[in-house]
DNA sequence: CCCCATGTTCGACA
DNA sequence: GTGTCGAACATGGG
């Protein structure tokens, strides 16, 4: 392993790993976007890439180097699980973090490690994209306007375009699918992932195997819609709101103990509301945790 | 060694 | 065409 400079700035953490052990859903993505904000207004002096890394399967690493070297970072945005960074000269960099990606800033002397597939060296810091499993992806775009794939993203959950009737209609179109499977569909629920889906259903008191058709109207639809918006807003506040000064090694440590999140992986974990033993089983192909008492099975 | 992993995509099949 | 399910992707941790 090559020697690496310990990053003292802007984030001081122990050890050599620049990665945070968290898997990115909407709030974590927004958190990671902010880690690169320190580079806004600064020029990219040099770009490091691991040219054969799978994250370059859509756009070659060399294209990224050529497009970004010498430009300045102007602006960034996160939406759903996507991020978009605008540079001058009409260059745009899109990033999806996949299952294990993370962004972080470090001192400009940092030496890229095995999983640091993209590093933008600015005058006084380095912006790093790390991804051990390489399910993440980068995209490049040139033009005055945002790329088409970005413009085509569905209305964000906290925007006025995300309506209760749209949620109900979407459920009505998949009447026999489990609500757990439906909540993971990015085209209607942008940015929701496995743990957020479980948190939403737990708060709403809905069993994850409940057929989506049963939630297409009435009070259950309202409960579902409300929980989606509340969990999204709360997750953004608790996770994305963490500054860049003292970042915990596990972002989940940020979440309050009365959430399902902090109990879901523990063997023998109990529901923070009812004290009942939590259940873990595979639903829609994903590990799902729920409270058998709070989340009613009888949806007829 | 085994099994597991918070995401997405693709092919097979109803 | 639509919807659903499992496998595959690549790596590390327990």
- Residue range A208-250, pLDDT digits in tens: 999 999 999 999 999 999 999 999 999 999 888 776 655 666 6
- For range A31-38, the mean pLDDT: 93
Compare A42 and A14 and report the one with higher pLDDT: A42
Quick one: pLDDT at residue A239? 87
A137-142: strand order across its sheet = A73-79, A82-87, A91-96, A137-142
Catalytic residue list contains A25: yes
Catalytic residue list contains A286: yes
Work out the pLDDT band at A272, boundaries 50, 70, 90: very high
In chain A, what percentage of residues exceed pLDDT 70?
A: 89
Q: What is the DSSP letter of A18?
A: -
Catalytic residue list contains A293: no
The Cα A247–Cα A243 span in angstroms is 7
For residue A104, which phi and psi values (nearest 5 degrees)?
-155, 160
Mean pLDDT, chain A, whole residue set: 89
Count Cβ atoms within 10 A of the Cβ of residue A219 and give its class: 0-12 exposed, 13-18 middle, 19 or more buried: exposed
CA distances A220 to A209, A273, A279, Å, are: 14, 20, 22
The SS3 of residue A164 is helix
Q: Which residues lie below 8 Å from residue A180, measured CB to CB, with a gap of 6+?
A: A197, A198, A201, A208, A209, A283, A284, A286, A288
Judged against a pLDDT cut of 70, whether residue A62 lies above it is answered with: yes
Q: Which residues touch strand B (CB under 7 A)?
A: A 22-25, 80-81, 96, 98-99, 133, 135, 184, 186, 193-195, 252, 265, 286-287
The residue lying closest to nucleotide C11, measuring its CA against C1', is A133
CA distances A73 to A52, A87, A93, A96, A210, Å, are: 25, 4, 10, 18, 46
Judged against a pLDDT cut of 90, whether residue A28 lies above it is answered with: yes
pTM listed for this prediction: 0.93
- Cβ count within 10 A of residue A257: 8
What is the distance in angstroms between the CA of the first residue and the CA of the last residue of chain A?
Answer: 59
**Can you read off the two tokens belonging to residue A27?**
């709030």
- For range A64-84, the mean pLDDT: 98
Judged against a pLDDT cut of 70, whether residue A126 lies above it is answered with: yes
Quick one: pLDDT at residue A13? 40
- For range A174-183, the mean pLDDT: 95
CA-to-C1' distance for A31 and C3, Å? 34
Nucleotide nearest to A99 (CA to C1'): B7
CA-to-C1' distance for A173 and C1, Å? 14
Answer whether any strand C atom is within 7 A of the Cβ of A269: no
Q: Which nucleotides along chain C are within 7 A of a protein C-beta?
A: 2-7, 9-12
Quick one: pLDDT at residue A297? 73
Answer whether any strand C atom is within 7 A of the Cβ of A15: no
Mind listing the pLDDT tens digit for each residue in A80-120?
999 999 999 999 999 999 999 999 898 898 889 889 999 99
Judged against a pLDDT cut of 50, whether residue A12 lies above it is answered with: no
Quick one: pLDDT at residue A267? 77
């Amino acid at each position: 392993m090559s020697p690496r400079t310990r990053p003292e700035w802007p984030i001081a953490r122990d050890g050599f790993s620049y990665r945070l052990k968290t898997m990115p859903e909407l709030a974590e993505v927004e958190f990671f976007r902010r880690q690169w904000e320190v580079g806004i207004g600064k020029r990219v002096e040099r770009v490091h890439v691991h040219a054969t890394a799978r994250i370059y399967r859509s756009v070659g690493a060399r294209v990224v180097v050529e497009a970004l070297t010498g430009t300045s970072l102007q602006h960034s945005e996160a939406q759903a699980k996507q991020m978009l960074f605008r540079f001058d000269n009409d260059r745009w960099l899109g990033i999806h973090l996949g299952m294990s990606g993370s962004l972080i800033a470090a001192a400009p002397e940092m030496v890229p490690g095995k999983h640091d597939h993209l590093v933008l060296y600015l005058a006084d810091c380095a912006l790093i994209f790390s991804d051990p499993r390489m399910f993440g992806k980068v995209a490049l775009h040139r033009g005055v306007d945002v790329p088409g794939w970005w413009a085509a993203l569905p209305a964000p959950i906290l925007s006025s375009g995300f309506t209760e009737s749209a949620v109900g209609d979407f459920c009505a179109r998949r009447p026999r699918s489990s609500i757990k499977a439906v909540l993971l569909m990015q085209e209607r629920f942008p940015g929701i992932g496995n743990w957020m889906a479980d948190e939403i259903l737990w708060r709403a008191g809905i069993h994850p195997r409940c057929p989506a058709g049963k939630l297409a109207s009435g009070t259950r639809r309202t409960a579902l819609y409300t929980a989606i918006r509340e969990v999204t807003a709360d997750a953004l506040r608790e996770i994305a709101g963490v500054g860049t000064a003292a970042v915990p090694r596990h972002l989940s440590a940020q979440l309050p103990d009365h959430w399902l999140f902090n109990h879901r992986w523990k063997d023998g974990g109990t529901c923070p509301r009812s004290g009942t033993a939590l259940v873990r089983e595979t639903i829609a192909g994903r590990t799902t945790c729920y409270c058998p008492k709070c989340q009613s099975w009888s949806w007829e």
